[in-house]
């Protein structure tokens, strides 16, 4: 236990030196917070955020498509000597440039200016981020700003962006003090967005806070439910945590419930990612009400579903997904055991992606089927596809970090050592002497923990 605690500062400094090639618009708080603050609690390590932190080399949408789905096994041929099958389901969305017209967005920035925001230079980081955000908006976009400490106040009522200098001056004048009435600030932000709801456009609250609410409504369940009442009216919410001490669980619950993304700002690199590089992805969703259904034949036995929160029923896996934003690539990984497939036999998996297409204003589905075949007794490489090999390696590293943190929390240091060492060996077998920046970003984190353990 002690070695892990001593290492938090070391890993924080180390990870900050690694270049970031982050995913466009996908939630990144778990990864970014770990990078800035060291390993967090096991229940805060979100495996799918590690898997989707980088852009994927998968099938992209055609000119007339909003979303494309990519379906592949690591190898569609297995044998009795290598019976594991890794299935990757990927989907990608079109870019903002593919759309001839995008309606003005309707955004409220809800800004925490309580006393806790004065530590770690949080408020100054936040001011920089907000000014970058304002610069990325168009003149006809609708913006409002709510601030909160012990109370909540509208400092910019909902209006067209127009002159950005006036808005940036308001931001420059923000100062900290008082308690944290997050619920009141959030509700007031929703009310500003309600004034200009556009059914076919983006209506969103962006909540920027450390989440350390201590005044007014402080019960997490009640805050999430209060947010949900406005989510049901068509207003989404994204959360952006700021500082070294963040109520991660509260912010993630709010964003998950509100079909938004969950980010974290710990460095200038995070500001670049969230407020500049990925502004269009946060503001312009392509699809909502997204769900995935995977049906597999009885010859296949499910071993592992990496990350997410799937539901299982017989030979069917169902999964609700966040809104799909512009310029997104996202993957889902599943491991099957094929021991029940007879020699020279096969088994099929059918995948259906369902969503409401915002551009076409209608419900759409994409359905594809893929076959796995058992051909011989000769050992085959179940990660022959290099893209699947890469993403699988990142997934098992993320899972090993989560497992290691869990064992450490329960004082099981030997189990923590084993899970992290076994993972490293498998990744090095899959990618000996790799120079891939996406793999190295997580692998070097794993290696540092091995040294400390």
- Residue extents of the structural domains in the chain: 2-55+388-452, 67-98+287-376, 106-283
Tokens linked to 94: 């079109």
When mean pLDDT is compared across 142-151, 289-298, 322-331, 341-350, the lowest value belongs to 322-331
What pLDDT band is residue 375 in, cutting at 50, 70 and 90?
confident
State the pLDDT confidence band at 318, using cuts at 50, 70 and 90: very high
pLDDT band at 57 (very low <50, low <70, confident <90, very high): very high
Nearest alpha carbon to residue 202 among 110, 104, 311, 133: 104
pLDDT at 129 (0 to 100): 80
Asked if residues 284 and 102 have their Cβ atoms less than 8 Å apart, the reply is yes
| Residue position matching structure tokens 């889902």 | 332
Q: List phi, psi (to 5°) of 30.
A: -60, -50
67-98+287-376 and 106-283 share one CATH topology? no
Q: Which CATH class is domain 106-283?
A: alpha beta
% of the chain exceeding 90 in pLDDT: 51
Whether residue 23 is predicted with pLDDT greater than 60 in this model: the reply is: no
CATH, range 67-98+287-376:
2.60.40.3670
Model pTM score: 0.81
pLDDT value at residue 327: 82
Least confident of 189-198, 296-305, 329-338, 435-444: 435-444
Q: Quick one: DSSP state of residue 277?
A: I
pLDDT digits (tens, 9 = 90+) for 392-426: 999 999 999 999 989 988 999 999 999 999 999 99
Predicted pLDDT of residue 310: 96
pLDDT band at 199 (very low <50, low <70, confident <90, very high): confident
| More confident site: 12 or 32 | 32
pLDDT at res. 267 = 59
Bigger pLDDT: 188 vs 245:
188
pLDDT of amino acid 1: 43
What value does the mean pLDDT take over residues 70-86? Answer: 93
DSSP state of 298: T
> 182-194 and 220-231 helices cross at what angle (nearest 10)?
0
Residue 99 confidence (pLDDT) above 70: no
- For residue 98, what pLDDT band results from cuts at 50, 70 and 90? low
Helix or strand run (H / E) with residue 367:
strand 362-376
Q: Average pLDDT of 201-206?
A: 88
Tens of pLDDT, residue by residue over 227-247, are 999 998 989 898 888 766 778
Give the pairing type, strands 262-265 and 236-242: parallel
Sequence-separated (6 or more) residues with CB below 8 Å from residue 218 = 183
Is the pLDDT at 15 greater than 50, yes or no?
A: no
Judged by average pLDDT, the poorest of 130-144, 175-189, 300-314 is 130-144
Predicted local distance difference test score (pLDDT) of residue 102: 75
| Mean pLDDT, residues 297-320 | 96
Backbone angles phi, psi at 107, to 5 degrees: -125, 140
Give the number of C-alpha atoms closer than 13 A to the C-alpha of residue 280, restricted to the C-beta side.
Answer: 14
**Nearest-angstrom CA–CA distance, 255 and 234:** 14
- pLDDT of 36 reads 59
Distance between CA 156 and CA 196 in Å, rounded? 14
């Amino acid at each position: 236990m002690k070695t892990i605690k001593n290492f938090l500062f070391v890993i924080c400094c180390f990870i900050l030196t690694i270049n970031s090639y982050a995913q466009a618009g996908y939630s990144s708080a778990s990864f970014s917070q770990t990078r800035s603050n060291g390993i967090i609690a096991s229940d805060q390590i979100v495996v799918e955020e590690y898997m989707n932190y980088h852009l994927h080399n998968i099938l992209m949408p055609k000119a007339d498509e909003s979303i494309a789905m990519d379906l592949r096994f690591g190898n569609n041929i297995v044998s009795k000597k290598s019976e594991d099958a890794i299935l990757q389901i990927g989907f990608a969305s079109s870019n903002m440039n593919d759309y001839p017209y995008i309606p003005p967005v309707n955004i409220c920035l809800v800004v925490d200016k309580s006393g806790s925001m004065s530590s770690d230079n949080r408020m100054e980081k936040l001011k920089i981020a907000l000014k970058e955000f304002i610069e990325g908006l168009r003149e006809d976009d609708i913006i409002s700003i709510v601030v909160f400490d012990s109370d909540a106040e509208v400092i910019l009522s909902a209006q067209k962006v127009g002159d950005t200098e006036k808005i940036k001056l308001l931001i420059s004048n923000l100062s900290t003090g008082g308690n944290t009435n997050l619920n009141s600030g959030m509700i007031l932000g929703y009310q500003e967005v309600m004034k200009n709801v556009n059914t076919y456009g983006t209506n969103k609250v962006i909540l920027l806070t450390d989440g350390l609410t201590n005044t007014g409504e402080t019960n997490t369940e009640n805050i999430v439910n209060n947010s949900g009442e406005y989510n049901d009216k068509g207003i989404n919410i994204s959360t952006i945590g700021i500082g070294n001490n963040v109520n991660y669980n509260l912010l993630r619950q709010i964003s998950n419930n509100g079909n938004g993304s969950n980010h974290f700002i710990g460095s200038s690199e995070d500001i670049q990612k969230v407020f500049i590089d990925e502004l269009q992805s946060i503001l312009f969703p392509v699809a909502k009400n997204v769900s995935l259904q995977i049906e597999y034949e009885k010859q296949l036995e499910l071993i592992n579903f990496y990350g997410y929160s799937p539901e299982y029923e017989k030979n069917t896996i169902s999964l609700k997904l966040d809104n799909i934003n512009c310029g997104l690539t996202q993957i889902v990984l599943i491991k099957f055991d094929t021991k029940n497939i007879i020699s020279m036999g096969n088994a099929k998996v059918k995948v259906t992606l369902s969503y409401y297409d915002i551009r076409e204003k209608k419900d759409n589905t994409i359905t594809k089927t893929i076959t796995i075949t058992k051909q011989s007794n000769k050992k085959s490489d179940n990660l022959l596809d290099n893209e699947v090999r890469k993403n699988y390696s990142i997934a098992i590293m993320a899972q090993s970090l989560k497992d290691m943190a869990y064992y450490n929390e329960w004082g099981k240091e030997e189990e923590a050592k084993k899970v992290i060492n076994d993972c490293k060996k498998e990744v090095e077998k899959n990618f000996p002497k790799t120079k891939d920046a996406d793999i190295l970003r997580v692998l070097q984190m794993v290696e540092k923990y091995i040294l400390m353990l």
